[in-house]
Structure 1
Amino acid sequence: MAVRHVWVNRKPDQVWNVLGDAEQYQRWVVGTRETHTAEGQWPDVDTKLTYAIGMGPLNMHGHTIVRVCEPPERLELEASAGRLGTARIAIRVRPWGEGSLVTMDEHPLRGAVAQLHTAPVDVLLQLRHRLMLARLRDVVEAGRSEADREAGKHV
C-alpha cells in the first residue's frame, strides 16, 4: 500500500478548492491529460471524470469515479485504467498548524494492477505520489490565500 503525505501552506478549504475542481485534476494528477466530467457534478459521489492518460506517444483512456466525498476533509476515488485495472485513491486533508496535511493512500483493487501488486510496484507508486502531492501543493499554493486577498484590499 502506498501512503504519502505533504504539508501545504494553505488552509483545508483552499486545498479542497483544488480537489473539488475537475478542471484542476490534470494539473496535479501525474500522467493525466484532457479531463472531462462525463457524468454528475464533480466531486459529488458517483461522478465520473474521463481522461486520456499516458506519457509521450503512449496514450490510453481512463476514468475516475468519486466513491466518498466529505468536504473539506476526505475524497475517495476509484481510478480505472482500462485493462490494467482499478485502484482506490483516498485523500485526506487535515488542518496542521498554519496549513494543511494532505495524505494520499492508494492501492490496487482489480485487474492486472491488483494481480501484479508487489513491493517494487509500491516503490513506483511512492515515487508517483511524491510527484503528485508536490504538484497538488504547488497548484494550491499558487492560488491566492485569504491573507493575500485581505492584504490586497488595504493597498
Structure 2
Amino acid sequence: MATASVRLFDCTPDDVFAVLGDGWLYPAWVVGASRMRAVDPEWPAEGARLHHSLGVWPVLFDDDTQLVEWSPPQRVKLRAKAGPLGRGVVVIEVKPRGQGCVVRMGEEPVAGLGALLPRLVWAPLLHLRNEETLRRLAFLAEGRRREREAGESSARATAPDAGAGTPDAQAAAEVGEATDAAAAAAGTDAPGSDAEGTDAPGTDGSGTDPGAAAPSPAPADR
C-alpha cells in the first residue's frame, strides 16, 4: 500500500503475532486508540471485532476494528472504523530476517473523510502515524521475547490459531477495494499478493535497508 511503513524487529514472527492475537493490547500499539471496551470472545477468528475508543478524553469516539484475514505468522488484514474519519483497511505482513523479522504495515482509507481527500494529503500523515504504530508494536513484541528468554514470563510465544469465522460482506469488499486502490496508486502488486520484495526495507520511501544482519533494537527508540 502507498502508505506502507517497514521496520526490522528483534524478535520472531510468532512474537509479533502473539501481540496481535491479544486484542486487549490494541490501544498499546495503535496510535489514536485510547481505550478498549470489549474484545469479541472469538478473537482472532476472522470476522471477530475489537471494540475500542479513539481520541483524547473527554472527546472520544466509540468504534470497532474487524479481523478480515488471520494468517499467522505471515499476514493480518483489518478493517478499522475511526468515527467521523471513516473506515480504513490495514495490512500487516511479517517475514523472517536473520534472528528477527521484517514487519510491513500499510493502510488505505476506503470511506469517510480520508477517502475523499487527495492521496497527497492523507498519505504522509498516515505514514507518520504508522511509523509510530510499528515502533510501539516492536516494543511489545521484543519485550515478550526478552522476558521469555530470561524465563520471566509465561506469556504465549506463538501466534494463536484462528477460530471459525467469516468477516461481514462489507468488510471483505472494502479490503479488496483497498488492496486494488493501493496497487493502482503504487503501480505494483499490493500487500497480500505474496509478491517478491514485500519484505524489503526501504519500500516506505526512507531509502534505507537494514541489511540481512541480525536486527538489534534502535537505541533512539528506547
- Answer yes or no: same fold by TM over 0.5: yes
**Given the superposition, is the C-alpha separation of residues 147 and 36 from structure 1 closer, same or farther in structure 2, using an over 3 Å criterion?**
closer
1:147–1:21 Cα change, 3 Å: closer
| Cα contact 1:108–1:117 (8 A) shared by 2 | no
Q: 1:146 to 1:56 in 2, by over 3 A?
A: closer
Q: Which residue of 2 aligns with 1:118?
A: 119
Q: Which residue of 1 aligns with 2:108?
A: 107
Q: Where in structure 1 do 4 or more consecutive aligned residues deviate above 3 Å?
A: 36-40, 144-147
1:84 is displaced (CA, Å) by 2.1
Q: Tell me the alpha carbon deviations over residues 129-148 of structure 1, each in whole angstroms, 9 at most, x when there is no partner.
A: 11100000011111134872
Task: Please give the root-mean-square deviation of Cα atoms over the aligned residues, in Å.
Answer: 2.1
Give the secondary-structure state (helix, strand or coil) at the position aligned to 1:93. Answer: strand
In 2, the alpha carbon distance for the partners of 1:38 and 1:24 equals 10
2:139 aligned partner, one-letter code: D
**Residue in 2 aligned with 1:3?**
4
User: Does structure 1 residue 137 correspond to structure 2 residue 141?
Assistant: no
The amino acid across from 1:91 in the alignment is I
1:60 is displaced (CA, Å) by: 1.1
Please tell me the residue identity of whatever aligns with 1:45: E
Greater share of residues in strand = 1
Deviation at 1:47, TM superposition (A): 0.4
Indicate conservation of the 8 Å contact 1:76/1:90, yes or no: yes
1:37 Cα deviation after fit: 3.6
Segments of structure 1 that go 5 or more residues without pairing to the other structure are 151-155
Superposition map of 1:1-150 within 5 A: 1-145=2-146, 148-149=149-150
2: CA distance, partners of 1:24 / 1:64: 13
Q: 1:147 to 1:34 in 2, by over 3 A?
A: closer
Preserved CA contact (<8 Å) 1:40 1:46: no
Q: TM-score, normalised by structure 1?
A: 0.89
Amino acid at match of 1:92: E
For 2:112, the aligned partner's letter is G
**Could you tell me how far apart the structure 1 residues matched to 2:141 and 2:40 are?**
25
Specify the code of the residue in structure 2 equivalent to 1:76.
K
- Seq. identity, %: 33
Identify the range of structure 1 (54-63 vs 79-88) with the bigger mean alpha-carbon deviation.
Answer: 54-63
Instruction: Give TM-score, length-normalised by structure 2.
Output: 0.63
User: How far, CA to CA, are the matches of 1:34 and 1:120 in structure 2?
Assistant: 28
Task: Give SS of 2:52's match.
Answer: strand
